[in-house]
């Protein structure tokens, strides 16, 4: 969830879509087998963009109000974001607005706490619900990597976490179950094929589209071997994360004051600076008028990728949210532009 960079946008007044205030609603999609109708753009309340963690109450409420006005229906948070601050602030803001969007949160269990996975999951959800001021959430997701040394093993996920999650669902505390799909490809494939999960949060962006498309040969990134096909075969809805590579796809190295000052890449290069450098290789597309900014290019690339359910955008300001809303209003990138992205990064 992101981004943290200071976005800049080249204005193209003739090409801007009608504002949603004038009646245009954001595209909605069915999220896999859940049957949930979610907006093409989802509201990320994470710590990287930082607004729901470090912003003012007024800014947080204004941002959510604008998101709902534009047609955003899904809001995503986690107990880990700001160590509970995101959930607490989100709960307060939603109450102030009288809003009940489709809501998802997550549980992360550090290795030292995995002696009682079931107990840890249950306790985490109870604490999340208290902070959010809710009796239940629509989507409850594991936030741990799968198959890596620091993550959970497949056996822990399927043998311990899944029964605990299913029990919480039976108790009415969540409707659907998901994973954050980070880890090794064999482990992720096994979990997706188990049929235990309804959704998967997948790192997907112009630098690393390998969940849904071939990986670029000229960019350092983890190759997820088009696992999106496995997810689709099992009805797992995809929620895109890191669609701006934590802000690097804006092409700007500077971070917004509200954003996380330093951020590590996920499934892309070894450093944020390397991701920024790769993003700048896409500048010719902006110069040619394909998009008004690198950020717009990246948002459209991710949000309209075939197979994508909902693409999460985290922001540091209402202005960044406005730009993201305007970006999806432009619709999909031309096929030729998508091919050029691949060529420029290969």
Kindly report the backbone phi and psi dihedral angles of residue 105, in degrees, each rounded to the nearest multiple of 5, phi listed first: -135, 180
**pLDDT recorded at residue 17:** 36
**pLDDT recorded at residue 3:** 53
Q: Which residues pair with 183 in a beta bridge?
A: 146
The separation between the first and the last C-alpha atoms of the chain, rounded to the nearest angstrom, is 26
Identify which of 52, 82, 48, 50 has the alpha carbon closest to the alpha carbon of residue 246: 48
CA dihedral 230, 232, 237, 239 (to 10 degrees): 60
Does the pLDDT at position 319 exceed 70? yes
**pLDDT recorded at residue 53:** 95
Q: Model confidence at 281, in pLDDT bands (50, 70, 90)?
A: very high
**pLDDT recorded at residue 23:** 41
Q: Which domains does the chain have, with CATH numbers?
A: 14-344 (3.20.20.100)
Least confident span in 17-26, 125-134, 303-312, 329-338: 17-26
pLDDT tens track for 39-85: 999 999 998 899 999 999 999 999 999 999 999 999 999 999 999 99
- Cα distance between residue 126 and residue 128, in whole Å: 5
Tokens in use for 154? 């497949």
Q: What is the mean pLDDT of residues 192-203?
A: 99
To the nearest whole percent, how much of the chain has pLDDT over 70? 93
Q: Model confidence at 22, in pLDDT bands (50, 70, 90)?
A: very low
Does the pLDDT at position 14 exceed 70? no
What's the whole-number average pLDDT of the chain? 93
Q: Are 51 and 89 in contact (CB under 8 A)?
A: no
Q: Are 112 and 74 in contact (CB under 8 A)?
A: no
Does the pLDDT at position 1 exceed 80? no
Q: What is the mean pLDDT of residues 253-271?
A: 88
Kindly report the backbone phi and psi dihedral angles of residue 71, in degrees, each rounded to the nearest multiple of 5, phi listed first: 105, 10
Least confident span in 234-238, 257-261, 270-274: 257-261
**pLDDT recorded at residue 178:** 99
Q: Are 206 and 269 in contact (CB under 8 A)?
A: no
Identify which of 237, 244, 301, 312 has the alpha carbon closest to the alpha carbon of residue 81: 312
Write the CB contacts of 112 (distance below 8 Å, at least 6 apart in sequence): none
- Cα distance between residue 298 and residue 294, in whole Å: 6
Written as one string, the DSSP assignment of 198-219 is SEEEEE--SS--TTTSPPPTTS
Tokens in use for 251? 């092409």
Identify which of 79, 130, 74, 88 has the alpha carbon closest to the alpha carbon of residue 106: 79
């Amino acid at each position: 969830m992101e981004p943290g960079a200071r976005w800049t946008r080249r204005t193209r007044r003739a090409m801007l879509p009608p504002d949603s205030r004038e009646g245009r609603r954001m595209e909605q999609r069915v999220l896999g087998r859940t049957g949930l109708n979610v907006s093409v753009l989802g509201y990320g309340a994470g710590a990287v963009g930082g607004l729901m963690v470090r912003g003012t109450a007024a800014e947080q409420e204004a941002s959510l109000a604008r998101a709902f006005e534009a047609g955003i229906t899904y809001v995503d948070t986690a107990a880990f974001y700001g160590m509970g601050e995101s959930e607490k602030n989100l709960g307060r803001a939603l109450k102030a607005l009288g809003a009940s969007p489709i809501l998802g949160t997550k549980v992360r269990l550090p290795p030292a706490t995995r002696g009682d996975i079931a107990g840890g999951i249950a306790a985490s959800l109870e604490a999340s619900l208290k902070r959010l001021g809710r009796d239940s959430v629509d989507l409850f997701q594991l936030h741990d990597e799968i198959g890596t040394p620091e993550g959970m093993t497949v056996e822990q996920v399927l043998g311990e976490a899944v029964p605990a999650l299913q029990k919480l669902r039976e108790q009415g505390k969540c409707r659907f179950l998901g994973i954050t799909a980070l880890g090794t490809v064999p482990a992720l494939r096994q979990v997706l094929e188990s049929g235990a999960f309804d959704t998967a949060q997948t790192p997907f962006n112009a630098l690393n589209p390998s969940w849904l498309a071939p990986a670029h040969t000229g960019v350092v990134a983890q190759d997820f071997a088009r696992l999106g096909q496995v997810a689709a075969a099992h009805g797992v809805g995809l929620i895109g994360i890191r669609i701006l590579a934590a802000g690097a796809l804006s092409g700007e190295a500077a971070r917004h004051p509200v954003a996380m000052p330093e951020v590590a890449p996920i499934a892309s290069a070894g450093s944020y600076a390397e991701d920024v450098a790769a993003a700048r290789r896409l500048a010719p597309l902006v110069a040619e008028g394909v998009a008004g900014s690198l950020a717009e290019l990246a948002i459209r690339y991710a949000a309209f990728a075939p197979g994508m359910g909902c693409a999460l955008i985290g922001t540091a300001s209402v202005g960044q949210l406005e730009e993201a809303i305007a970006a999806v209003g432009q619709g999909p990138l031309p096929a030729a532009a998508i091919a050029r992205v691949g060529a420029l990064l290969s």
